[in-house]
Amino acid sequence: MKDLSKPTEKNVKLVSSYVEKYCKRTGLNLHPMKDVSEAVTTGLAMHLDELKRPLCPCRFYPDKQQAVAEREWLCPCSDMKAYKYCHCMLFVNEEGMPVTQHLPEGHEGRQAYGDIADPAPERMPRKLPN
């Protein structure tokens, strides 16, 4: 019987490999506190086991299947793809802070962290919205 409190080793490796490649692609780093990055990658792997999709583990979902169908919170989430802003603090700068430079005015990330520069602005995951 599968231990539901831990993800499968296969999905932990899959998520860890993906996260490492995504850091290289975006020019960002994993959070410098290993406990933070491990907690998020473990949560992503658990959701991969449960839902067959890497749903962000840092949010509460009244209906996880609906959240998967909506795709906004699949890792990398919509804010990460558009603005390089990671709510989970998995993808951050060297100091462990989330990039807020590309966020629109009034976004919660800017309000919480201020203006934090992107260490690799030439490596946007995709084009910024107009």
Residue 55, φ and ψ in degrees, nearest 5:
-70, 135
- Rounded CA-CA distance 85/48 in Å is 22
- Selected catalytic residue, list 23, 56, 58, 75: 58
Nearby residues of 35 by Cβ (< 8 Å), 6 or more positions away: none
Neighbours of 22 (CB within 10 A): 18
Tell me whether residue 56 is one of the annotated catalytic residues: no
Active site residues: 58
